[in-house]
Amino acid sequence: MGIKLLIISFILISFAFSFLYIPTHLTMPNLRNFRPTKPFILPEPGKPYPVSFAYLISGSKGDAPKLKRLLLSLYHPGNHYLIHMDYDATEAEHKEIAEFVSSDPTFFQIGNVWVVGKPNLVTYRGPTMLANTLHAMSMLLRIAKWDWFINLSASDYPLVTQDDLIHAFSDLPKDLNFIQHTSHLGWKLQKGLQNRRGTTNGHILFPKVHLIDIGKDGIPSSHKPEEVAAG
């Protein structure tokens, strides 16, 4: 009687565990055949990247192909990306971007790309554009840890690699705002004039010699002011 009860208990427990295993197994994508198109510079185990950027990539009607191209050219596992297709984009375009992000094995594995589910109306000549940017900053502050925020449209395209950008910003104070970076990378070989310049509240800032500002507010923006602005 005792042996029969033990066998029945074992069968029931095995049956219960099979129900827990099967759904998990069916919902996990097969990543074995995936190979990245280019190698990433991965950090040492337990050591994060020196800096991290948070990107807002905005698009409108007809921008889906350009938005996908920009995201692929900007992508880096150490950064964070929020995609917003505005209210003028068609339902098919919203679905296309959502499926593009959700079906990419790298985005799935790293988990650092998000799509805004409820689009905002953006006029690009009024307060709605600023409101949308602040909303994106607020969302990114809640879901990720980053150092600088960069706001781009689907029509933009990077002139430097993300590894070069991370390297260039790795020794800058994290509270600098409106920093500009040129595409001339000779500084990597010759330690001459720094090619970075930054302003805070419109004033020229010289944290090191050779830091020069030309008076134009650029990007990216530092983390701290956005925490106050986004509330």
Task: Please tell me the pTM assigned to this model.
Answer: 0.61
Q: For each of the chain's 231 residues, which pLDDT tens digit applies?
A: 555 555 555 555 554 434 433 333 333 333 222 333 344 444 444 457 889 999 999 999 999 999 999 999 999 999 999 999 988 899 999 999 999 999 999 998 999 999 988 888 888 777 888 888 888 999 999 999 999 999 999 999 988 899 998 988 888 888 777 666 555 555 444 544 444 444 444 443 333 333 333 333 444 555 554 444 444
Spatial separation of the C-alpha atoms in residues 93 and 225, rounded to whole Å? 33
Q: Please enumerate in sequence order all residues whose Cβ is within 8 A of that of 51, keeping only pairs 6 or more positions apart, or say none.
A: 147, 148, 166, 169, 170, 172, 174
Helix (H) or strand (E) holding 82: strand 80-85
Show the tokens assigned to 137: 């900053």
* Residue ranges of domains in the chain: 53-230
The CATH class of 53-230 is: alpha beta
Contact in structure between 75 and 47 (CB atoms under 8 Å) = no
Contact in structure between 57 and 24 (CB atoms under 8 Å) = no
Spatial separation of the C-alpha atoms in residues 79 and 146, rounded to whole Å? 8
Show the tokens assigned to 83: 């995609």
